[in-house]
Structure 1
Amino acid sequence: MNTPLLIDAHHHLWDLSQRAQPWLDDPAVASIRRTFTPEDLRSTATHPVAGRRLHGTVVVQCIADVPETEDLLALAEREPLIQAVVGWTDLTSPAVGDVLDKLLAGPGGRYLRSLRHLVQGETDPDWLQRPDVERGLGAARDRGLRYDVLVRAHQLDQAVRLAERFPDLPQVLDHAGKPDIARQDFAEWERRIRRLAAHPHVVCKASGLITEADHTRWTNADLRPVWDVLVSAFGPERLMFGSDWPVANLAGGWNRWAATVDELVTGWSDSDVHALLAGTATAFYGLASAAGASDTTTRTTT
């Protein structure tokens, strides 16, 4: 019997000796203002989820910088833990296609599976609908790439419009659209999430939830309402586990999040557990098969 696999579909890495991360200047994140390497993740991520231990990961860009993406791709080429990269390029640039072609042909280019932009920091309420952005998204789609959607709860209408306008671009919502768990204010978030989930080519990362809660006082009960909405709206077959490590260290860390998910999936079927923990990410990002799940589970497709 093969060992069931666990894929972390969302984490970050940075080396401050090689590249600055200006967002780390915020005093609120001082505790993670240091270099984080794959070995740090490997030694940290030790708690199993539903009996599964970390097998592979998807590393995600942090800053609007093509050289960072190039470095992550080169790292994926030599680091077996990393199975895919979510990178960045300027979607508004007329040269976006040329940049993508260069990334795909460069060292580790085969690991580039998706793009992401920090739309959460854009003040334009229609940023994802700008003509130059849509041209860039079309260039990504035409090269077989996916798109990671990073928006806050109040920006989810942009994500809905993106889903409507690009039905042939596979999309994943990062961090469940950042619901306000700290204040337990979910009504508008839930309404928008259900509209987004109505589009079958959109999946969702169950990630980043603990940092939307009170960092020091959150409990599993605080997360349960959000979790239940996600499972109801998307179903396990369109959800994927992500840690958002090392940002997760601000609110408990990789192992505490893993233990929380372990509790949240209690009573799930083997096939639903496999979808959340490996199958959805494998299908969406085109990873090396995670169907090294047990003999009784099959790979979930989206």
Structure 2
Amino acid sequence: MRMIDAHHHVWDLAVRDQDWITGPELAPLRRDFSLADLAPEAAAAGVSASVLVQTVTVAQETPELLRLAAGSALVAGVVGWTDLTDPAVADRLAELRELPGGDALVGVRHQVQSEPDPRWLLRPDVLRGLRAVAAAGLVHDLVVLPHQLPAVVDAARAVPDLVFVLDHLGKPPVATGVLEPWATWLRALAALPNTAAKPSGLVTEADLAHWTTADLRPYARLALEHFGAERLMFGSDWPVCTLAADYCRVVATTRELTDGLGPMERAAIFGDTAARVYGLAPLPPRPTAV
């Protein structure tokens, strides 16, 4: 099985601060993380390709990520950022595709979790931007909190031509063990055909120091039941995941969470779904023994 990590990040604090890394709990992330750091861990886990995802709402970041993709054998796609409220958002997307590495642009994401308005996705200017993303043939990744999921459902209904990918399953409250109302809104989103999800980031929604696979299983089970393997994709959320687990443990945990699936379903979660949803170039063929 060829594996794709559909969600990871990199940053260089000398180039740009990551202003979301605050407080003692996140202190281990306040250093540089590069593709050179990730590559050996991904290789050890059997990951052949990846999707590099934005971290800050700064226009300069996406061209930097695209340049990294152009020079990397690991990065097959980039989910960048552009201002969805910009009346010229279609032009901005076209400009990004003309940049070095622009052919790796597969989607855009906004830090909706930081927006004080829980219905931000439904603003007329945002919906106009989402329609431009759809017209460009790109995907929209969603980083939201559970209380924002009702607006996600309504936005996905309002823009049926756009594929919405729910990052981190919408950050359910794993540490508390509570399922509702998160579960109700996850079901509602999964009922829409233009949606997919990543069971990524669950380890950092759990008790960072004492989590077990059993803590994550109710959330992963609901996602599997309602999205199905054909709309779920593995993502490590590296390096954020390192607050709770190293890369190989995240992969091993995802394998445990999918241990009841058949080989085709597991192949979907660990690569085929991401390749289809993001339109990634085919992975190189396996070497054959001689």
Q: TM-score range by the shorter chain?
A: over 0.9
Show CA shifts across 1:119-142 (max 9, x none): 011111210000111111111111
* 2:167 is the counterpart of 1:203: no
By how many angstroms is 1:16 displaced? 1.2
Q: Secondary structure at the match of 1:185?
A: coil
* 2:260 is the counterpart of 1:260: no
* 2:23 is the counterpart of 1:26: yes
Q: Structure 1: how far apart are the matches of 2:42 and 2:34?
A: 12
By how many angstroms is 1:74 displaced? 0.8
With structure 1 as the length reference, what TM-score do the two structures score? 0.92
For the Cα contact (< 8 Å) 1:115–1:148, is it kept in 2?
yes
Q: Secondary structure at the match of 1:45?
A: helix
For the Cα contact (< 8 Å) 1:128–1:158, is it kept in 2?
yes
| Matched AA of 1:271 | M
Judged with a 3 Å threshold, the aligned counterparts in structure 2 of structure 1 residues 148 and 222 are, in CA distance, closer, same or farther, namely: same
Count of residues in correspondence between the two structures: 288
By how many angstroms is 1:249 displaced? 0.5
By how many angstroms is 1:256 displaced? 1.3
With structure 2 as the length reference, what TM-score do the two structures score? 0.96
Q: Which residue number in structure 2 is paired with residue 45 of structure 1?
A: 42
* 2:272 is the counterpart of 1:275: no
Q: Structure 2: how far apart are the matches of 1:165 and 1:139?
A: 13
By how many angstroms is 1:253 displaced? 2.2
Show CA shifts across 1:93-113 (max 9, x none): 122222111111111111111
Q: Which residue number in structure 1 is paired with residue 94 of structure 2?
A: 101
| Matched AA of 1:268 | L
For the Cα contact (< 8 Å) 2:42–2:48, is it kept in 1?
no
Q: Structure 1: how far apart are the matches of 2:265 and 2:284?
A: 13
Q: Tell me the C-alpha RMSD between the 2 structures.
A: 1.6
Q: Which residue number in structure 2 is paired with residue 129 of structure 1?
A: 122
Q: Which residue number in structure 1 is paired with residue 11 of structure 2?
A: 14
| Matched AA of 1:17 | A
Q: Which runs of 5+ in 1 are unaligned?
A: 295-302
Q: Structure 2: how far apart are the matches of 1:209 and 1:267?
A: 19
Q: Structure 1: how far apart are the matches of 2:158 and 2:44?
A: 40
Q: Which residue number in structure 1 is paired with residue 216 of structure 2?
A: 223
1:1-302 → structure 2 map (5 Å cutoff): 4-45=1-42, 48=45, 53-290=46-283, 292=285
